[in-house]
């Protein structure tokens, strides 16, 4: 999982500036989605949805679990996670990279089903010193702080290669949520600039942020290549399902691109949540396929658990994508929802129609995404019946998913 990678930033999605030969090749040999959506338009909500297979609203995580204001909260331990269920089915499990679902050791990934964790728990860190936004060291060995030298993108991969090698003879689930290309913008040859206790906000002293951003994306691509090479060397590639995606849309700054889509990270226009997604499984998923079926982060959990023959929670909101991945069967039609209640923003989609509200006081907008994926033309006044139907569907969903939920990150 990339962090803040926009829809238009890979070669295979039409961004000609960045060199991403590994991911382009992965798409050519697998299934590329052009209508895949992160559950959130910012970091933590998507991660909560991915781990639980449920709308993040049910866990009370609609916003960012921040280093400044949410250090005592996180994803509830009562939530059933993908790692817990795969672990119970005999899989070795590991997470290397960004957790962002709880700062306290009580909420650490090793208490949420992962056998191993190396990485950081905040939203972003200096990629060299691993200092977070409020000046605290944030690099963990399981639930213990333990400094470790290295550029984060490469360090994540070092651990991943070790894990795959050590567990080559058994089933494994490896979750690699990268820091790139989220700020601070630091390429692999730049230098870290934060120290413990540093009060200044995370930003960057690198003068050419566009250059650093490009290097971050290209470094991420190269590190994905190291994982794939390891699978090849161990003769595991045909037995391993590989998924690549992003947690939300790009920021639109320093070379970040959401392609032809309107909006950016933090918004519920398409640019905020329609992101790259590639699924590859040689011999099982036909090469070179492109899917325009609308799918979401919550769909991974039920699909992977059923592929693994693992137990699945009856509370799952996602749908099983096995038939679509393996045989090209259509995905069952359902409504898709996004919400940020503290800001009065939401969106609901059914089929090609999407109803959108950008703030508490904003008018409702209606878009026909099949004809207008860039959301250039508001059709609300022309189709009041569709507005009413989608609004009723959203309100019914909102009532159901918020019943009894205590917000953890608004």
pLDDT at site 205: 72
**Sign of the CA dihedral with 137 first, then 246, 20, and 17 last:** negative
- For residues 266 and 366, state if they share a domain: no
Whole-angstrom distance, CA of residue 55 vs CA of residue 296: 10
Counting the structural domains of the chain, the total is: 2
Tokens of 183: 């700020």
- For residues 205 and 349, state if they share a domain: no
pLDDT at site 35: 98
Torsion angle, alpha carbons of 225, 227, 229, 230, to 10: 170
User: Considering 293, 308, 334, which residue would you say is the last residue of a domain?
Assistant: 334
Bond preceding residue 46 cis, omega within 30 of 0: no
Residue 408 lies in a domain: no
- For residues 311 and 163, state if they share a domain: yes
DSSP H helices, 234-340, are 270-273, 300-307, 322-327
- For residues 250 and 367, state if they share a domain: no
Q: What number of other Cβ atoms are within 10 A of residue 288's Cβ?
A: 10
User: Considering 280, 301, 334, which residue would you say is the last residue of a domain?
Assistant: 334
CATH code: domain of residue 363: 3.30.1120.10
Residue 270 lies in a domain: yes
Bond preceding residue 181 cis, omega within 30 of 0: yes
**Sign of the CA dihedral with 117 first, then 123, 127, and 133 last:** negative
Domain hosting 377: range is: 337-401
Whole-angstrom distance, CA of residue 21 vs CA of residue 222: 8
Which residues does 356 contact at the CB level (< 8 Å), separation at least 6? 268, 269, 346, 347, 364, 365, 366, 367, 375
Whole-angstrom distance, CA of residue 283 vs CA of residue 240: 10
List active site positions: 43, 100
- Those residues of the chain that have pLDDT short of 70 are 199-204, 313-314
Backbone φ, ψ for residue 291 (5° rounding): -110, 135
- For residues 316 and 386, state if they share a domain: no
- For residues 149 and 291, state if they share a domain: yes
CATH code: domain of residue 132: 3.40.720.10
Distance of CA 386 to the CA centre of its chain: 30
- For residues 125 and 231, state if they share a domain: yes
pLDDT at site 63: 96
Distances (CA, A) of 324 to 278, 284, 291, 329: 13, 11, 9, 4
DSSP 132-162: BTTS-B--EETTEE----S-HHHHHHHHHHH
Whole-angstrom distance, CA of residue 116 vs CA of residue 62: 27
- For residues 369 and 239, state if they share a domain: no
Helix, strand, or coil (residue 92): strand
- For residues 349 and 242, state if they share a domain: no
- For residues 346 and 328, state if they share a domain: no
Residue 4 lies in a domain: no
Whole-angstrom distance, CA of residue 200 vs CA of residue 322: 47
- For residues 304 and 160, state if they share a domain: yes
Residue 43 lies in a domain: yes
pLDDT at site 200: 67
């Amino acid at each position: 999982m990339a962090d803040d990678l926009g829809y238009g930033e890979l070669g295979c999605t039409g961004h000609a500036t960045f060199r991403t030969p590994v991911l382009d090749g992965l798409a050519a040999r697998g299934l590329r989605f052009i209508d895949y959506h992160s559950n959130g338009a910012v970091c933590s909500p998507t991660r909560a949805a991915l781990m639980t297979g449920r709308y993040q609203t049910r866990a009370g995580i609609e916003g960012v679990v921040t280093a400044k204001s949410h250090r005592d909260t996180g994803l509830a331990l009562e939530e059933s996670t993908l790692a817990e269920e795969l672990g119970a089915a005999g899989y070795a499990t590991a997470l290397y990279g960004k957790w962002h679902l709880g700062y306290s050791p009580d909420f650490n990934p090793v208490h949420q089903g992962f056998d191993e964790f190396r990485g950081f728990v905040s939203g972003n860190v200096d990629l060299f010193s691993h200092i977070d936004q409020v000046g605290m060291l944030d690099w963990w060995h399981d639930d213990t702080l333990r400094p470790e030298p290295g550029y984060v993108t490469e360090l994540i991969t070092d651990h991943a290669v070790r894990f795959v090698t050590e567990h080559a003879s058994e089933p494994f689930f490896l979750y690699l949520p990268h820091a790139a290309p989220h700020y601070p913008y630091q390429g692999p040859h730049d230098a870290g600039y934060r120290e413990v206790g540093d009060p200044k906000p995370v930003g960057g002293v690198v003068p050419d942020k566009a250059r650093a951003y490009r290097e971050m994306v290209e470094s991420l691509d190269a590190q994905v290549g190291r994982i794939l090479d390891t699978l090849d060397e161990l003769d595991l590639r045909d037995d391993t399902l590989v998924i690549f995606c992003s947690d939300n849309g790009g920021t639109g700054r320093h070379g970040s691109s959401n392609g032809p889509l309107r909006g950016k990270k933090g918004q519920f226009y398409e640019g905020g949540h329609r992101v790259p997604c590639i699924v590859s499984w040689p011999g099982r998923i036909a090469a070179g396929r492109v899917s325009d079926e609308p799918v979401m982060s919550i769909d991974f959990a039920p699909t992977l658990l059923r592929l693994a023959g693992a137990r699945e929670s009856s509370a799952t909101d996602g749908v099983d994508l096995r038939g679509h991945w393996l045989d090209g069967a259509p995905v069952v039609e359902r409504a898709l929802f996004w919400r940020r209640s503290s800001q009065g923003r939401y969106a609901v989609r059914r089929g090609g129609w999407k109803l959108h509200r950008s703030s508490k006081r904003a008018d409702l907008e209606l878009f026909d995404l099949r004809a207008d994926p860039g959301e250039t033309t508001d059709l609300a006044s022309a189709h009041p019946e569709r507005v009413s139907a989608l609004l009723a569907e959203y309100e019914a969903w909102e009532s159901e998913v918020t019943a009894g939920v205590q917000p953890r990150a608004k």
